[in-house]
Amino acid sequence: MASLAMRAFSSLGRPRTLFRVGAASPLQSSVCRASLSSLPLSRSAFPVRLSIPFPVMLSSTVRLASLTFILARSLFIQTENTPNLDSLKFKPGVPVLTSATTHEFLTAHSSLASPLAVSLFRIEGVRNLLFGSDFITINKHEDANWATIKPFVYEAIMEFFASNQPLFTDPAEKQSGSTEILDSDSETVVLIKELLDTKIRPTIQEDGGDVEYCGFENGLVKLKLKGSCRTCDSSVVTLKNGIENMLMHYIPEVEGVEQVLDEQDKLSQEEFDKLEN
């Protein structure tokens, strides 16, 4: 199988850039001449497109020494920086979720609902995940290094999409959008949700994050930041200078925005406060 794969790669003609897993020296051939260390982080395209000249199962994986070659047709993974240095946005070039909603995984236990999330949480240094319509946002621990994490993320994403598995093992696990209009919603709440969906969420998702509507009470819109926004130093600026100003400008009933924190966020904030004091 290995020799067959090498003959296939050598017949491709021009050099291809594939990724390297492990610490072995780069493969000196017309197939692979670059390591990940030479790839820029900022909005970098990571081409892995191969045109296989003979019948091969597209989901096949050929392992040669420390290299993993994923035989997948027309799959490109792009990485985009976010305002959060501990967060990266991965775009596989194919749909991830089939709707405009997002799905967040904060723990390895919650990832059991998705084979892809399980694979990504197995990578050392991964803190939490956010799946969007066409992107995957990964937040890492502060002491982890992207140069170490990224090769394994590429591998996990490509293996998943080559396997044709469903994203969720149970369709009931798919999150409904927090901005879905309900019959019980007041006119003000409908306006808030529409503004979030049309003006605010698309902009935040461009940076690998999202915002979840949690309620409207006494003039305050309660929101939860997700993805790259969750641990971002500028999250307060995003809420106050961005979201709050826009909501108050278009909807007079809105007097402010309040951030909703879950248990993980509260623990992080407590640790931060201890360091500050």
DSSP 21-42: -SSSPPP-SSS----GGGS-ST
How would residue 161 be classed by pLDDT, with cut points 50, 70 and 90? very high
Ordered strands of the 209-217 beta sheet: 209-217, 220-227, 256-259
pLDDT at 274: 53
The band of 198, judged by pLDDT with boundaries at 50, 70 and 90, is very high
Higher pLDDT, 20 or 145: 145
Quickly list H helices, the chain: 2-10, 115-121, 146-163, 187-195, 201-206, 235-237, 245-250, 263-276
> Is the predicted pLDDT of residue 56 greater than 80, yes or no?
no
Residue 127 is predicted with a pLDDT of 96
pTM here is 0.69
Cα 246 from Cα 31, distance rounded (Å): 51
Whole-angstrom distance between the N-terminal and C-terminal Cα of the chain?
A: 60
Looking at residue 78, its amino acid is Q
Residue with tokens 């904060």: 106
Question: What is the pLDDT averaged over residues 244-248?
Answer: 95
**pLDDT digit string, tens, across residues 4-48:** 444 443 444 433 334 433 333 333 333 322 333 333 444 344 444
Angle value at C-alpha 143, between 146 and 63, nearest 5 degrees: 40
